[in-house]
Amino acid sequence: MSKVANERSVIHPYHRHPAGSQPPRVYEPYRSTPARNPSKPLIFLPHTLSEVTGPVYGHDPIAETDNDLTRQHAAAPLGERIIVTGRVLDDDGRPVSNTLIEIWQANAAGRYQHQRDQHPAPLDPNFGGAGRTLTDDNGNYRFVTIKPGAYPWFNHYNAWRPAHIHFSVFGRAFLSRLITQMYFPGDPLFAHDPVYQSVSDEKARQRMIAKFDLEATQPQWALGFRYDIVLRGPEATPFE
């Protein structure tokens, strides 16, 4: 617990990641990790103004349909319509308000709208797969989209990714930046997916899985899923 005065700025150092809460940098079963991560130990950096500040607001305006991936094209996309909603909190439970969330995902057939995705599943002209929104004053957000399909990749023989939505969140500091993947409950592919399995702690893994939520479900319209996101937060007790 320390707080360091710098001229007229005040530095609240952030909590460090608790052991086991994050994936390791190199996880052999995910085969592209060894060539793309350092072999030397990282240098421990006490937090300065550079780490505890960050881009607080979205850098571009949000359009009305940005958080509804089913209304961005001429017609509705194919697939199971879903609502994904939740809160962004810091690790002390404080809401993270007005922070930018960006998502991207495959379509219902498991195909991304991306030139490098060659999976022979159909593209959907009515689904681009990108969304963005800002959290409200209480940290709440909401997207409408379709449930993405599972898809094959080349990591190992018969490798398939469980259905997931990529989430990108900023928070208040450059070090609170989080990019993760939201999974769906009960996916039989969890046991075979090295990206999911890279998080070794079962409790930590559960934090990546949305919960089916009947209250978020809209009658005669769309299933609801709840997915809360926790970002690193500043140490609470100041020191001067």
Partner 1 sequence: MEHVPTPSQTAGPYLHIGLTNTHSVTQIAAADVPGERVRLKCRVLDVEGAPLNDAMIEIWQADANGNYKHPDDLRAPETNSRFFGFGRAGTDENGACEFETIRPGKVPGPGNSSQASHLNVAIFARGILLQLHTRIYFAGDPANDTDPVLALVPADRRDTLMALPDPKQPSSWLFDIHLRGDQETVFFDV
The correct pick among 3, 73, 81, 207 for binding partner 1 (CB under 8 A) is 207
- Residue 227 bears catalytic tag: no
Kindly determine how many residues on this chain lie close enough to bind partner 1 according to the rule CB under 8 A: 86
Q: Which of 151, 183, 196, 227 is catalytic?
A: 151
Under the criterion CB under 8 A, does residue 210 sit at the interface with partner 1?
no
- Write the binding mask 11 to 30 for partner 1: x where contact by CB under 8 A, - elsewhere: xx--x-xx--xxxxx-x--x
Q: What are the CA-CA distances from residue 206 to residues 15, 94, 184, 201, 202 (Å)?
A: 21, 21, 10, 9, 6
Q: Give the residue carrying structure tokens 């030139």.
A: 115
In sequence order, what DSSP letters do the residues of 59-121 get, joined into one string? SSPPPTTTTBTTSSSSSPPSS-EEEEEEEEEETTS-B--S-EEEEEE--TTS--SSTT---SS
Q: What's the per-residue H, E or C state across 128-176?
A: CCEEEEECCCCCEEEEEEECCCCEEECCCCCEEECCEEEEEECCCCHHH
Q: Does 125 bind partner 1 (CB under 8 A)?
A: no
C-alpha span between 172 and 176 (Å, rounded)? 7
4 counts as binding partner 1 under rule CB under 8 A: yes
Pattern 129-148, partner 1, x by CB under 8 A: xxxx----------------
Our finding on whether 181 is near partner 1 (CB under 8 A) is yes
112, 183, 196, 227: which is the annotated catalytic residue? 112
Nearer to partner 1, 114 or 218 (CB): 114
Does residue 117 contact residue 109 with C-beta atoms inside 8 Å?
no
Rg (CA), the chain: 19
Q: Closest by alpha carbon to 156, among 197, 209, 193, 112? A: 193
Residue 166 known to be catalytic: yes
Catalytic residue among 164, 196, 227, 232: 164
Active site residue 161: yes
The nearest distance, CB 3 to partner 1, in angstroms, is 11
**Considering only residues 1, 32, 118, 215, which one is a binding residue for partner 1 as defined by CB under 8 A?**
32
φ/ψ of 93, rounded to 5, equals 85, 5
Residue 12 falls in the annotated catalytic set: no
SS3 197: helix
When asked if residue 43 is in the footprint of partner 1 (CB under 8 A), the reply is yes
68 near partner 1 (CB under 8 A): no
151 in active site: yes
Residue 73 engages partner 1 in binding (rule: CB under 8 A): no
Q: Which of 195, 210, 216, 222 binds partner 1 (CB under 8 A)?
A: 195
> Active-site positions?
112, 151, 161, 164, 166
